[in-house]
Amino acid sequence: MAEASVMGTSLLQVTGLSKSFAGIKAVDDVSFSVEAGSVTALIGPNGSGKSTTIDCISGFTKADAGRVILAGKDITGASAHTVAASGLVRTFQNVRVYERFSLRDNLRIAAGGSAATNPLTFARVREKAPSSEILDEHIERVGLQRYREAPAAILSYGQRKLLALAATLILNPAIIILDEPLAGVNPSVIRDLSRLLDALKSERRTFVIIEHNIPFVMRHADHVVVLEAGRKLMEGPPVTVRADERVMRAYLGGSGSDVATEKVP
């Protein structure tokens, strides 16, 4: 293994990950590492294997091959529950909530101490739910305090993504993976998320973010991993990735419309 980052003490080390569906290689020998306190962006056209990669890492899909090491612990093939308990919590591209339950109750279920399924992150890592104060603090953190007692049905698509982020934060995991947090989200929520991410980065939280919004990636990522047709096309700092012709070609070859280019504050 030639890459220094893979040999070091990265918080997350993914090596040779592969996953096929009916003979189609959705993820093909993908390796990358995530440093503690960094934001790693996973980008690539639709269908390039981003979600499947994190499904394999987070225990929602079993990889055919490869190794996943989290904080020195081998979590390859571990269940989603075990992975979450080991400190890796993720959100989903299509966030689901209990529409009739209040935000506070949705978050209470997500935070543990409930036998109910937690559709926000599917993680259940605690024995006891936190106090209402702690729940409210996290709802406030993502800017949804006005709605905390309202049924989650009233939340917009973007606000549901904010609630899912709160559901990861309340578990205080070592690493948070967000699957397309900005897709379908209006500009004001994008601004909120961008500011919140700044604050979380200054707390040295560690993120892996799948995102098509290239300005957002350039603004926030320390390291970018580019997938194309299941394979790693390249990786590096945002400036290097942005300057690489192969990356734009990969997007245009897929569907150029994937790339959002509006400015991020």
Ligand X SMILES: Nc1ncnc2c1ncn2[C@@H]1O[C@H](COP(=O)(O)OP(=O)(O)O)[C@@H](O)[C@H]1O
For Mg ion, the closer CB: 19 or 50: 50
Note the Cα 10 to chain centre separation in Å: 17
Q: How far is the CB of 54 from ligand X (least distance, A)?
A: 8
For Mg ion, the closer CB: 26 or 135: 26
48 binds, among ligand X, Mg ion, none (CB under 5 to 8 A by kind): ligand X
d(CA 77, CA 37): 25
Query: What contacts 212, CB < 8 A, 6 or more positions away?
Result: 43, 180, 182, 183, 258, 259, 260
Q: What are the Cα distances from residue 154, in Å, to 87, 144, 147, 166, 173?
A: 31, 11, 9, 17, 28
Residue 63 one-letter amino acid: A
Residue 51 binds to ligand X (criterion: CB under 6 A): yes
* Site for ligand X, residues 4 to 23, rule: CB under 6 A: 21
CA dihedral 60, 81, 220, 15 (to 10 degrees): -60
Contact 3, 234 (CB under 8 A): no
* Site for Mg ion, residues 86 to 115, rule: CB under 5 A: 93
DSSP element (H, E) containing 226? strand 223-228
Q: How far is the CB of 90 from ligand X (least distance, A)?
A: 13
For ligand X, the closer CB: 44 or 66: 44
Residue 50 binds to ligand X (criterion: CB under 6 A): yes
The correct pick among 10, 13, 33, 52 for binding ligand X (CB under 6 A) is 52
Nearest to 17 by CA among 75, 74, 56, 71: 56
The correct pick among 13, 31, 51, 206 for binding Mg ion (CB under 5 A) is 51
Nearest to 77 by CA among 66, 88, 92: 66
Q: How far is the CB of 227 from ligand X (least distance, A)?
A: 6
The correct pick among 3, 16, 46, 94 for binding ligand X (CB under 6 A) is 46
Select from 2-10, 45-53, 142-150, 194-202 the region that touches ligand X (CB under 6 A): 45-53
Note the Cα 7 to chain centre separation in Å: 24
Q: How many residues interact with Mg ion (rule CB under 5 A)?
A: 3
Q: How far is the CB of 218 from Mg ion (least distance, A)?
A: 20
Q: How many residues interact with ligand X (rule CB under 6 A)?
A: 11
For ligand X, the closer CB: 227 or 264: 227
Q: Interface residues with ligand X (CB under 6 A)?
A: 21, 24, 26, 44, 46-52
Q: Interface residues with Mg ion (CB under 5 A)?
A: 50-51, 93
